[in-house]
Amino acid sequence: MMPNATGPDDISGSGSPLPPTTAAAAAAAASTSVKLVLLGAIICVSLVGNALLSLLVLRERALHKAPYYFLLDLCLADGVRAAVCFPFVLASIRHGSAWTFSALSCKVVAFMAVLFCFHAAFMLFCISVTRYMAVAHHRFYAKRMTLWTSAAVICMAWTLSVAMAFPPVFDVGTYKFIREEDQCIFEHRYFKANDTLGFMLMLAALMAATHAVYGKLLLFEYRHRKMRPVQTVPAVSQNWTFHGPGATGQAAANWIAGFGRGPLPPTLLGIRQVTGGGGGHVASRRLLGMEEFRGEKELGRMFYAITLLFLLLWSPYIVACYWRVFVKACAVPHRYLATAVWMSFTQAGVNPIVCFLLNKDLKKCLRTHAPCWGAGGPQVPREPYCVM
């Protein structure tokens, strides 16, 4: 009998394991594809979300207030970061983690990346201070926090950010392409000649100060939450004259606790009668009532969520920077470094998601301006008061 024609030497090589070089090349190609898709998704989410939120703030007059001006500034900065800095990261990933542009362009891109990072940190700190003033010192906040004051705060944040990001452009420190990060950023050297140490320390100090202000705000709200009226008998108001056990200052305490009847006492809310032009219309402008207080608390929760996400998404990268500076005996694990870098990239697109989830006013405006969401829904009447 003839031997079987299908011997071991005739087996096709398709089922055999790939050579090490081929397997490594396939893994690298797959990793590159995943990075490109992921960064493309981050860019799209950031551009669409920040543009949508910015348009809502610009078009809706009810959102023309100091907190939303600050939010608009954050959204525009994140959108520009995604549109200007991230395409260079895409190009470096496509070319095998290599920088194919000039050294000057590397400095410019690194400058803008650091600028937007510090701008967000400075802006979140300023927002935390204004949130505390809006609740704890509302009369002063309502009088001083105008459009021009908001513009001055935003300009101050940008000026400080430029001051932090500009020195390496003139070689006070070094901007360099870091292959492990696929981006141009601070060069990480020994701590005696380090570019990262002071800048990352400033960023960490800003985040610590911001959370300290929010802690003070939470403590203030907790202490005032425990206030109770001395008497539970409500004050009765007739033409702003209070009668009974709840008269005078007790009337305000009863209103704070929810026992008030009739119109709100002017001693509590600081109502000013302003005569409008033309027909002599009288408008009441309140400094702070229960509804306004709830609105300020909602804004505080939203901005604190943004601040907390900023801290969570940037902290791993800050830890990696200090690791590379101080710990020379052990290198930063590549997987940890890659995760930290991509978490910092993700921060550019999370703010609109947080805002639409936690802010009722933004949801309402989105339903109003989006026909597919707002059609057929009941129109909620707006309160005839505004927070000044």
CA distances from 219 to 210, 213, 255 (A): 14, 10, 22
Does residue 364 sit within a domain? yes
DSSP string, 313-324: HHHHHHHHHHHH
Smallest CA-to-CA distance from 115 within 173, 171, 86, 157 is with: 157
Question: What's the token pair of residue 41?
Answer: 């998704």
Residue 172 confidence (pLDDT):
56
Question: Does 238 map to a domain?
Answer: no
Does the pTM surpass 0.85? The reply is: no
Distance CA 65, CA 281 (A): 23
pLDDT recorded at residue 230: 41
Q: What pLDDT, on the 0 to 100 scale, is given for residue 68?
A: 93
The pLDDT of residue 262 is 53
* Cα pseudo-dihedral 140, 143, 148, 149, rounded to 10: 0
Q: Which pLDDT does position 150 carry in this prediction?
A: 92
Angstrom distance (rounded) from CA 377 to CA 366: 13
Q: Is 12 exposed, middle or buried (0-12, 13-18, 19+ CB in 10 A)?
A: exposed
Residue 8 belongs to a domain: no
Q: Total structural domains in the chain?
A: 1
Element (H, E) at 257: helix 249-257
Is 241 a member of any domain? Answer: no
Provide the pLDDT for residue 79: 93
Q: How many CA atoms lie within 13 A of 165 on its CB side?
A: 24
Looking at the domain assignment, is residue 163 inside a domain? yes
**Residue 280: inside a domain:** no
CATH number of the domain where residue 156 is located:
1.20.1070.10
- Provide the residue count of the chain: 388
pLDDT of residue 3: 47
Question: What DSSP line would sit under 297-314, residue for residue?
Answer: HHHHHHHHHHHHHHHHHH
- pLDDT value at position 98? 87
CA pseudo-torsion sign 118, 119, 122, 124: negative
What pLDDT is stored for residue 351 in this prediction? 92
- Domain holding 328, by residue range, is 31-227+297-370
Q: Which residues contact 230 (CB under 8 A, 6 or more apart)?
A: 250, 253
Tell me if 153 sits within 8 A of 191, measured CB to CB. no
What radius of gyration, in Å, describes the C-alpha atoms of the chain? 29
Segment-wise mean pLDDT, segments of 10 residues, the chain, 388 residues: 46 50 75 88 94 91 90 94 92 88 88 91 94 85 88 94 78 75 75 59 86 88 60 46 48 53 51 39 44 80 93 89 75 86 92 91 82 49 43
Residue 134 in any domain: the answer is: yes
Return d(Cα 88, Cα 82) in angstroms, integer: 10
Name residue 44's amino acid.
Answer: C
Give dist(CA 388, CA 143) in Å, integer: 7
Domain membership of residue 23 (yes or no) is no
Question: Contact at 8 Å (CB) between 86 and 341?
Answer: no
Distance of CA 144 to the CA centre of its chain: 24
Angle of the 86-94 helix axis to the 20-59 helix axis, nearest 10:
170
Q: From CA 126, how far away is CA 210, in angstroms rounded?
A: 8
